[in-house]
Amino acid sequence: MFCYQCQETAGGKGCMVRGVCGKTEATAKLQDLLIYSVKGISEIVMKGKLDVNELGDINDEVINSLFITITNANFDDAAIIAQIQKVLGMRDALKEKVSIGGLHDAATFTVDSTESMLTKASSIGVLATDNEDIRSLREMIIYGVKGMAAYTEHARNLGKVNLDINTFIYQALAATLDDTLTANDLVALTLKTGEHGVKAMALLDEANTSKYGNPEITQVNIGVRKNPAILISGHDLTDLEQLLEQTKDTGVDVYTHSEMLPAHYYPAFKKYNNFAGNYGNAWWKQIDEFVSFRGPILFTTNCIVPPRSEEVRGRIFTTGSSGYPGCKHIVADENGKKDFSEIIALAKTLPTPEEIEAGSIVGGFAHNQVFALADKVVDAVKSGAIKKFFVMAGCDGRMKSREYYTEFAEKLPKDTVILTAGCAKYRYNKLQLGDIGGIPRVLDAGQCNDSYSLAVIAMKLKEVFGLDDINELPIVYNIAWYEQKAVIVLLALLYLGVKNIHLGPTLPGFLSPNVAKVLVESFGISGIGTVDEDIKLFMA
Ligand code: FS2
Ligand code: SF4
């Protein structure tokens, strides 16, 4: 196996024996083959000039396949094998409809057993591209497309589709098979990936807000009540809505974990009396927090950490693109409805959650809420009460070096405001950082996709202050990344023209030295230094 798609990749270079995330060699290879299979479909769609409008389920299964391979989403080999078979069936049916020759092996290969899948996978992975720069660019595009697919799937679950995005995904995946493309061609495609990342985040924003209302300032309880409870993790709001509907009046409470926290900011979920609060912190702390939660856990997407005990594993359920061997997977019916009764029944037999902290945190500062505060914010900037904004969106992770972000937030001058989104916030959202004239110093817009909100806010500020360039704003970007959704957020920011982004805690292992050089020279991207040096640099 070879995988270097996430920030925690072994030695910063690549996982070659087993994933740091817990992915086995077989799982990694099967995921590679699944990606290869959707590349094959993409080539048929592009070369056959097929109308994406008419591809039906194929569009959804390509998206789902990409999502399955995101870090920490799906560890279930049986589910991945079934998905490969489904996708290959679709690929071959599609091929029969078009008569095109000269197709790539990805569009023609056959496998008839798990053994043959694993054998095939050994020759088509990341390292099959010899040139390290081409490999780096191809993989960066694929990781961006994976993140885009995740956002597209959530929007689709809410009934919102933009076929431009699906069309681009076919185009991008097919391009990664094309040996005639130069590094320059792939750099251009990387920016187009960012452009479509913006579209995907805008689509999801519209899907979420049109259905659940605009996020608003909300105090979220982080303590516990004395009822049996279910913990819901991941990012999918339709799953949460269905769980709340099915648990209301049952005596079972629902708590959010990690990236599901921002669900509390949406008006539509406030009517559920059993929507009790947020339990715990970022994804990687689940190892301890799932033990003390004591009730069932529902994963709607990544980020799953392999459970350490059978007891915890027996309480974990998955749905959507997520999966874990030995955990019950809940599938939607043809109308998208999911039956969570087994989880609710289990919750009633288990002890109530153990309290690990008390109090509340505040969030809900997506674009609409910030626009409502615009006068206050603009006045504070004009009067000098707010000197700078720090966009610290992105992901959290296990590495000790991420303590940087806590220290950074603590040491920032008191006349600065942090704009955040994603699970990166758990490094500082429980610190008492105070407020500036009633504006909290940490403004949480929501999930990682709500980084879109931060870009919308920046564009609004540019307009209000009558600036020509987004980079003239007093905004510094100090972003933390972990998995592929952060890659699409980064590419989206680059497409929007944001320069001098600092990316940490380490730069991606998938950047070859030459590709890293392009990012540095064209976009001013850099890593992080020490907290003191960086604050000095940013405040200068
Ligand atoms: Fe955090 Fe994991 Fe949100 Fe990422 S909970 S690293 O999925 O997409 O961010
Ligand atoms: Fe390694 Fe990350 Fe790939 Fe897991 S997802 S195998 S940790 S690079």
Determine, yes or no, domain membership for 273. Answer: yes
Do 96 and 177 lie in one domain? The reply is yes
User: Is 303 annotated as a binding-site member?
Assistant: yes
What residues line ligand 1, using a CB cutoff of 6 Å?
A: 235, 258-259, 283, 302-303, 395, 422-423, 447-448, 482-483, 485
Do the bridges between strand 388-391 and strand 475-480 make them parallel or antiparallel, or are there none, so unpaired? parallel
pLDDT at 327: 98
Q: How far apart are CA 263 and CA 277, in angstroms?
A: 10
pTM above 0.90, yes or no: yes
- Do residues 282 and 143 both lie within one domain? no
Is 359 contained in some domain?
A: no
User: Are 30 and 132 members of one domain?
Assistant: yes
Does residue 474 share a domain with residue 390? yes
CA–CA distances in Å: residue 508 to residues 5, 71, 276, 329, 370: 8, 14, 37, 32, 32
Atom 6 of ligand 2, residue of closest alpha carbon: 19
Same domain (yes/no): 198, 293? no
295 lies in the same domain as 397 = no
Number of domains in the chain: 3
Mark whether 392 and 342 lie in a shared domain.
no
The answer to whether position 2 is within a domain reads: no
Pocket-testing residue among 70, 321, 444, 485, ligand 1, by greatest number of atoms within 8 A of Cβ: 485
Q: Is residue 32 in some structural domain?
A: yes
Q: Which atom of ligand 2 is nearest to the CA of 19?
A: 6
Q: Is residue 498 part of a domain?
A: yes
132-157 and 513-523 helices, crossing angle to 10°: 70
Q: Looking at ligand 1, which atom is closest to the CA of residue 258? A: 5
Domain end position, chosen among 314, 349, 384: 349
| Position 412 in a domain | yes
Looking at the fold, whether 190 and 55 belong to one and the same domain comes out as yes
395 is annotated as contributing to ligand binding: yes
62 and 173 assigned to the same domain:
yes
Pocket probe mutation, ligand 2, options 1, 2, 5, 16, max atoms within 8 Å of Cβ:
5
> Average pLDDT of each block of 10 consecutive residues along the chain (540 residues)?
98 98 98 98 97 96 98 98 98 94 97 98 98 98 98 98 98 98 98 98 98 98 98 98 98 98 98 98 98 98 98 98 98 96 98 98 98 95 97 98 98 98 98 96 98 96 96 98 98 97 98 97 97 97
How confident is the model at residue 526, as a pLDDT? 97
Name the residue range of residue 242's domain.
Answer: 218-349
Residue 3 forms part of a structural domain: no
Q: Are residues 465 and 514 in the same domain?
A: yes
| Residues 206 and 224 reside in one and the same domain | no
Of the listed ligands, the closest to the CA of 125 is 2
Residues 246 and 135 grouped into a single domain: no
- The last residue of one of the domains, among 318, 349, 380, is 349
Output the domain CATH number for residue 531.
Answer: 3.40.50.2030
Is the four-CA dihedral 416, 422, 428, 430 of positive or negative sign? Answer: positive
CA-based nearest residue to 45, from 133, 113, 107 = 107
Q: What is the CATH number of the domain that holds 114?
A: 1.20.1270.20
